[in-house]
Amino acid sequence: MAIGNGGTGSGLVVSFGEMLIDFVPSEAGVSLAEASAFLKAPGGAPANVAIAVARLGGRAGFVSKLGDDEFGHMLAAILRENGVSDAGVVFDAGARTALAFVTLRADGEREFMFYRNPSADMLLTAAELNVDLIRNGAIFHYGSISLIAEPCRSAHLKAMELAKEAGALLSYDPNLRLPLWPSPEEARKQILSIWDKADIVKVSGAELEFLTGHDSVEDEVALRLWRPNLKLLLVTLGDKGCKYFTEDFRGIVGSFTVKQVDTTGAGDAFVGALLQGIIEDRSALLDEKKLRQVLRFANACGAITATKKGAIPSLPSASEVMEFLGKA
């Protein structure tokens, strides 16, 4: 699979949504209150996906609003340093860049406490969208956090509409963060409100259970989330791999056994690799053998990312993935 030969001739992935600073305790396995010091780490799932694509040699752009503050300008610089176009990023002088305090439990899983009241990303308006960048995307990727509050919700819906009109594939990773929603019921309702617009949807096992109300990740439960508009539905199951469903075939691709240090960004690495794989050969959506190759590569990206601390520094290059797969 020729991931890594993106160059300027390949399609553009445009990612939409939040970018923020994660403050992570300098020692693992402690609560926020117990932490003696915090390291700042750039984050935000849609931004991580854009950087994951670029790290693999693809072309990526990002659409968001950041605070006109030191953290906001630092994040925009990180996008540029990682080869992501920040032409879709605007700044708000009246609101801060979002912050999240993230606890890494002893098992590498995370707990969050957010500072967004409101943060700049929530204040992006439809009028501030970089229409040209969105229309140039071959894939338009987004989450659900941008659906929580106006005016960002309207901007999100408008950006989806622009991308769809321009012929882009729409990719949706809900990336559920329940503490940010007014209630679980509202989260479920709004996350599902745009389900029938996407071409590609990726959910985790926990998100599948939340959205369906069934305590199971069996195929018949996953298929409750299938819609006629979908070309691909994915359910990621961590170290158990990933299930895939299309109109014509379904299956599971196993994961790789690694020592997990920090799962932050592993799902985003997976999505970035998946999208870059589809950019490089769109027929993977119709050809099960090709799709399984893309998903194996994406699983490897997720596994590598989980072996290191922090999301963006852990996202692998194509050569790292090929080396990992050569040893697997």
Active site residue 132: no
Q: Are 104 and 29 in contact (CB under 8 A)?
A: yes
Q: Where are the beta strands (DSSP E) in 133-197?
A: 137-142, 169-172
Measured in whole angstroms, how far is the alpha carbon of residue 248 from the centre of its chain? 26
CA nearest to 67, candidates 117, 109, 119 = 119
* 51 and 317 Cβ atoms separated by less than 8 Å: no
Q: How far is 323 from 325, CA to CA, in rounded Å?
A: 5
Strands of the sheet containing 137-142, edge to edge, are: 84-92, 59-67, 12-16, 137-142, 169-172, 200-204, 232-236, 242-245, 250-253
- Which pair of tokens denotes residue 90? 């605007």
Q: Would you call 182 exposed, middle or buried from its count of C-beta atoms within 10 A (0-12, 13-18, 19+)?
A: exposed
Of the candidates 242, 279, 238, the residue with the CA atom closest to the CA atom of residue 258:
238
Amino acid found at 312 = I
The DSSP code sequence of 236-249 is: E-GGG-EEEE-SS-
The total number of residues shown for the chain amounts to: 328
Pairing of strands 99-104, 110-115: antiparallel
> Is residue 192 within a helix (H) or strand (E), and if so which, with residue range?
helix 184-193
Is 43 one of the catalytic residues?
no
Catalytic residue among 267, 272, 277, 302: 267
Q: Are strands 242-245 and 232-236 parallel, antiparallel or unpaired?
A: antiparallel
- Quick one: how far is CA 44 from the chain centroid? 8
Residue 248 is among the residues annotated as catalytic for this protein: no
Which one of 268, 272, 277, 311 is the catalytic residue?
268
- Look up 310 and say whether it is catalytic: no
Q: Which of 6, 265, 272, 310 is catalytic?
A: 265
Q: Which of 47, 266, 298, 300 is catalytic?
A: 266
Catalytic residue list: 265-268
